[in-house]
Amino acid sequence: MQNEVVSREEWLEARRALLAKEKEATRLRDSVNAARLALPWVKVDKDYVFETPEGRKSLADLFDGRSQLVIYHFMLGPDWDAGCTGCSFLSDHVDGALPHLNHHDVTWVAVSRAPLDKIAAYKQRMGWKFPWVSSFGNDFNFDYHVSFSPEDLAKDKVFYNFTPMPPADANDELPGLSAFYRNDNKGEVFHTYSSYARGPEELIGTLMILDRAPKGRNEDSTMNFVRRHDEYEEAAKAPSCCH
């Protein structure tokens, strides 16, 4: 289906109307960002120990000498054969950002409940370089509401995205992103922010580009077109008028 075709003058009028909405959305985003920065913090008193390629590390150790830590809760459970397709899609956008984040006092780390050897194998398959550690031996994923035990899923509700939801809408692993701050003077760690479901979507640059393409995301359901980057067909099919 093709959009209406109009004169350049009519197009400019429509584009200026859209520009007004885009500017409104930008101002709203600025307001949301300011409110995010103003959120109160929660001190992390629990001792979490993660398995890493360099040995066992605490949550404070994961900061790697910086004051800010962003953790991506990557869906890769202990018995999973491969990482979540959507999490993999987002993670394809991370490595290029690492130098910029690190030089702006931010450390990025992915955390999954899968054992370290399974994480390492999938990381090698995908060709990623960002730090990725295992929380298999601690409660981190459960405490931050991205992992659910069989007992959790047998209850009437599970807590995800700050809301009770039916277990039928959940999974043993779900995606999310959490941010932390470390106080240099006392070494205290604070939880400052978390986001779940489609919350981290703005990190996926491919979607932002597609939103500006003529067909947009061209999806039947959220990201149903996405595959792991080594699972796409080598040659793109020719466009079909019936597709």
Would you write out the chain's pLDDT as a tens digit for each of its 243 residues?
Answer: 789 999 999 999 999 999 999 999 999 999 999 999 999 999 999 999 999 999 999 999 999 999 999 999 999 999 999 999 999 999 999 999 999 999 999 999 999 999 999 999 999 999 999 999 999 989 999 999 999 999 999 999 999 999 999 988 889 999 999 999 999 878 899 999 999 999 999 999 999 999 999 999 999 999 999 999 999 986 455 444 343
Give me the pLDDT at residue 219, please. 92
Give me the pLDDT at residue 1, please. 72
Give me the pLDDT at residue 103, please. 98
Give me the pLDDT at residue 209, please. 96
Give me the pLDDT at residue 184, please. 82
Give me the pLDDT at residue 238, please. 43
Tokens 């899609």 correspond to 89
- Model confidence over 163-194: pLDDT tens digits? 999 988 889 999 999 999 999 878 899 999 99
Give me the pLDDT at residue 233, please. 84
Q: Provide, rounded to the nearest whole percent, the portion of the chain with pLDDT above 70.
A: 96
Give me the pLDDT at residue 235, please. 45
For the question of whether the overall pTM of this predicted structure is more than 0.85, the answer is yes
Give me the pLDDT at residue 234, please. 66
